[in-house]
Amino acid sequence: MPTADRLLVLVRHGQSDWNLKNLFTGWKDPDLSPKGVEEATAAGQRLKAQGLSFDLAFTSALIRAQNTLKLVLGELGQPNLATTADQALNERDYGDLSGLNKDDARKRWGEEQVHIWRRSYDVAPPAGESLKDTVARVLPYYCQHILPPVLDGRRVLVAAHGNSLRALVMVLDRLTPKTIPSMELDTGVPLVYRLKADSTVESKVVLGA
């Protein structure tokens, strides 16, 4: 594959045990569910079917993203790929909502308030982060650590979370604070970007089922 590809692949972790139980997860650290293991493995198989391999990888400090990355790299035959884990790529911190069942949270605070916390751009749950806060945490890390090797022609894989990856997709896809909260990222589905030399997107492919 030519170095001019400037390849960046984003993968949201597979389903976690808490996703399965409908709990707010945030910075809590549950592992993958059996379905999540299947999703991560399938993501690796889809990338392999495209003939893709990587020069380095990034992930968060949370086990569900790290184990997703391990399963993907195992399918690619690259189990020892150079990998950096950093909490800058962690999921949005849901604060006092973390560990609560989403239905129970709606009963406690009201459906409208919980919807605002989940889907607004700049309203944070109690003791937690808004999506705007998450973007402010993720984007500097992307600009300093992930983007430079991509622009140098290295093939980079990022395994992270729905909201931390939303921050990257917001920039890559030129979404706005109004449109980004409603954008869904499926678990275990790779987003394959190729960038231009100016860091804008040359092409994007979603490797869904």
Name the band, by pLDDT with cuts 50, 70 and 90, for residue 1: very low
Q: What is the DSSP letter of 144?
A: I
Range of the domain at 43: 3-206
Name the band, by pLDDT with cuts 50, 70 and 90, for residue 4: low
Q: How far is Cα 127 from Cα 74, in angstroms, rounded to an integer?
A: 37
State the pTM of this model: 0.95
Name the band, by pLDDT with cuts 50, 70 and 90, for residue 96: very high
Name the band, by pLDDT with cuts 50, 70 and 90, for residue 115: very high
Percent of the residues in the chain that have a pLDDT greater than 90, as a whole number = 92
Angle (CA) 28-11-187 rounded to 5° is 65
Nearest to 10 by CA among 150, 148, 152, 156: 156
pLDDT digits (tens, 9 = 90+) for 63-74: 999 999 999 999
Q: How far is Cα 5 from Cα 64, in angstroms, rounded to an integer?
A: 29
pLDDT digits (tens, 9 = 90+) for 157-206: 999 999 999 999 999 999 999 898 888 899 999 999 999 999 999 999 99
Question: Which residues does the annotation mark as catalytic?
Answer: 13, 91
Task: Please say whether the beta carbons of 121 and 27 come within 8 A.
Answer: no
The predicted pLDDT at position 2 comes to 44
Q: How many domains is the chain partitioned into structurally? A: 1
| For range 5-24, the mean pLDDT | 95
CATH number of the domain bearing residue 112: 3.40.50.1240
Give me the torsion for CA of 24, 28, 30, 32, rounded to 10°.
Answer: 70
Neighbours of 44 (CB within 10 A): 24
